[in-house]
C-alpha cells in the first residue's frame, strides 16, 4: 500500500494495529468514517495531515506488510471473535462504568456539572449497544454463518425475512454511527477523557474506562463495517 493523503482511512486501519493506534491518537474515525481519504479525515479531526502521514510512513517501514488475518479467516471465526472479545467486553464494561459514573456524579456533580450529562449519554449508548448486539447475535451473525456453510457445500440458504443481508447490515451501520456519535459527545464533554485536577481515583478510573470503551468500540465497528459486512455481501452475491 502506498501511503498518501488520498489513501482511504479504512485501508490504513486494516494494515496493522499500530497504524490504528496512530489514527486513534490523532482523533481520526477509522470505523464509521473509514471510507474517507486520510486528508479529509485529518481535516475533520483538525490535525495536520503531513504529521499523521509522516508517523504512518515511519510505522509502515517498521512493521512491514499487512497482518490482517480477518480479511481471509473463516467468517464463522470472525463472528465468534466479535461475540467473545468485543460483545462480551461491552457487556462487562457497562455495569462497571455505570456504577463509577453514578458514584462520581453524586460526589463531584455539584462542582462538575458536566458529570450528569456524561452519565446520561453513557446510559443512552449502553442501551443502544445492548439492543444492537442482541440483533447481531440473534439475526445477522447466524445468517452470515449459514451463508458461509452454504458456500462450503452445506445446506443452501433460504431467502430470509429481511430478503438480503444488505438490509440488516444497513441498519447495523446506522446504529454504529449513532453509538459513535454518542461516544464523540462523551469525549467532548470529558475534555478528551482528561480528568480535572481535583479528581479522585474513581473519577480517574471512570474517565480511563470511557476512553478504553470508545477505543474498543472503534476496533469492534471496524471489524464489522470494514471486514465482516463487505465479506458477507460478497458471499451472498456468489450464492445467488
Residues forming the site for Fe ion (CB under 5 A): 136, 172, 224
Cβ burial, residue 113 (10 Å; 0-12/13-18/19+): exposed
Cβ of residue 188: shortest distance to Fe ion, in angstroms? 23
Taking the complex as a whole, how short is the minimal distance between the CB of residue 223 and Fe ion, in angstroms?
8
Nearer to Fe ion, 36 or 86 (CB): 86
Nearest residue to Fe ion on Cβ basis: 224
**Which of 119, 175 has the CB closer to Fe ion?**
175
224 or 236, CB closer to Fe ion?
224
- Looking at the Cβ atoms of 11 and 224, the one nearer to Fe ion is 224
Residue 100 or 169 having the CB closest to Fe ion:
169
Give least dist CB 190 to Fe ion, A: 23
We find the least distance from the C-beta atom of residue 100 to Fe ion, in angstroms, to be 23
Q: In whole angstroms, how close is the CB of 2 to Fe ion at the nearest point? A: 31
Amino acid at each position: 500500500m502506498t501511503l498518501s493523503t488520498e489513501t482511504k482511512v479504512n485501508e490504513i486501519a486494516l494494515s496493522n494495529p499500530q497504524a490504528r493506534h496512530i489514527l486513534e491518537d490523532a482523533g481520526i474515525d477509522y470505523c464509521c468514517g473509514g471510507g474517507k481519504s486520510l486528508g479529509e479525515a485529518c481535516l475533520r479531526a483538525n490535525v495536520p495531515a503531513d504529521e499523521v502521514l509522516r508517523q504512518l510512513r515511519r510505522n509502515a517501514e517498521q512493521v512491514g506488510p499487512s497482518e490482517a488475518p480477518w480479511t481471509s479467516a473463516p467468517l464463522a471465526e470472525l463472528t465468534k471473535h466479535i461475540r467473545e472479545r468485543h460483545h462480551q467486553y461491552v457487556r462487562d464494561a457497562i455495569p462497571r462504568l455505570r456504577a463509577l459514573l453514578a458514584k462520581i456524579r453524586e460526589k463531584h456533580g455539584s462542582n462538575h456539572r458536566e458529570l450528569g450529562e456524561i452519565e446520561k449519554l453513557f446510559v443512552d449508548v449502553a442501551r443502544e449497544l445492548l439492543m444492537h448486539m442482541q440483533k447481531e447475535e440473534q439475526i445477522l451473525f447466524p445468517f452470515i454463518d449459514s451463508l458461509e456453510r452454504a458456500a462450503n457445500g452445506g445446506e443452501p440458504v433460504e431467502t430470509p425475512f429481511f430478503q438480503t443481508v444488505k438490509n440488516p447490515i444497513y441498519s447495523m451501520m446506522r446504529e454504529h454511527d449513532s453509538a459513535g456519535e454518542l461516544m464523540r459527545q462523551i469525549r467532548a464533554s470529558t475534555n478528551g477523557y482528561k480528568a480535572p485536577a481535583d479528581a479522585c481515583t474513581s473519577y480517574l478510573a471512570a474517565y480511563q474506562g470511557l476512553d478504553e470503551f470508545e477505543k474498543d468500540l472503534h476496533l469492534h465497528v471496524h471489524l464489522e463495517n470494514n471486514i465482516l459486512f463487505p465479506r458477507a455481501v460478497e458471499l451472498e452475491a456468489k450464492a445467488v
